[in-house]
Amino acid sequence: MSIESKVLKEAPVKSKVKGNNFSWSQLPAWARQTTLLVVILLLWQITFKVMDINPLLLSSPSEIGKVFWQNWINGTLLSVTVATMKILLLGMFIGIVVAAILTTLATWTQIGNDLLTLLTAVLNPIPAIGVLPLAIIWFGLTPTSLVFVLANAITWPIAINVSMGFRTVSPTILMVGRNLGLRGWRLVKDVYMPAALPHMISGLKTGWAFGWRTIIAAELVFGVAGSGGGLGFFISQARFFLKIPDMFAGLVTISLIGILFDVLFNQIEKKTVIRWGMKAQGK
Percent of the chain as helix, strand, coil, to the nearest 5: 80, 0, 20
Whole-structure pTM value? 0.77
Q: Kindly state whether residue 40 falls inside one of the protein's structural domains.
A: no
Specify burial of residue 213 (Cβ count, 10 A radius: 0-12, 13-18, 19+).
middle
Q: Kindly state whether residue 239 falls inside one of the protein's structural domains.
A: yes
Average confidence (pLDDT) over 11-21? 50
Q: Kindly state whether residue 19 falls inside one of the protein's structural domains.
A: no
Q: Kindly state whether residue 153 falls inside one of the protein's structural domains.
A: yes
Confidence check: pLDDT of 107 > 60: yes
Identify the band that residue 93 occupies on the pLDDT scale cut at 50, 70 and 90.
very high
Q: Kindly state whether residue 157 falls inside one of the protein's structural domains.
A: yes
Average confidence (pLDDT) over 145-158? 90
* Lowest model confidence (mean pLDDT) among 85-99, 130-144, 191-205, 224-238: 224-238
Q: Kindly state whether residue 176 falls inside one of the protein's structural domains.
A: yes
Residues 118, 174 contacting (CB under 8 angstroms): no
Closest by CA to 132, choosing from 211, 207, 210, 214, is: 214
Q: Kindly state whether residue 3 falls inside one of the protein's structural domains.
A: no
**pLDDT tens readout for residues 251-278:** 999 989 988 988 888 888 787 766 666 6
Question: Residue 101 — φ and ψ, nearest 5°?
Answer: -65, -45
CA dist., res. 36 & res. 42, Å (int): 10
Return the CATH number at 79. Answer: 1.10.3720.10
Mean of pLDDT over the chain: 81
The whole-number pLDDT of residue 223 equals 60
The whole-number pLDDT of residue 16 equals 44
Confidence check: pLDDT of 136 > 80: yes
Q: Is the dihedral of CA 212, 216, 219, 221 positive or negative?
A: negative
- Domain of residue 230 covers 61-274
Average confidence (pLDDT) over 172-178? 79
Identify the band that residue 15 occupies on the pLDDT scale cut at 50, 70 and 90.
very low
Helix axes 143-167, 76-108, angle to 10 degrees: 40
Number of domains in the chain: 1
Confidence check: pLDDT of 152 > 70: yes
**pLDDT tens readout for residues 36-81:** 888 998 998 888 888 877 778 888 888 999 999 999 999 889 988 9
Q: Kindly state whether residue 139 falls inside one of the protein's structural domains.
A: yes
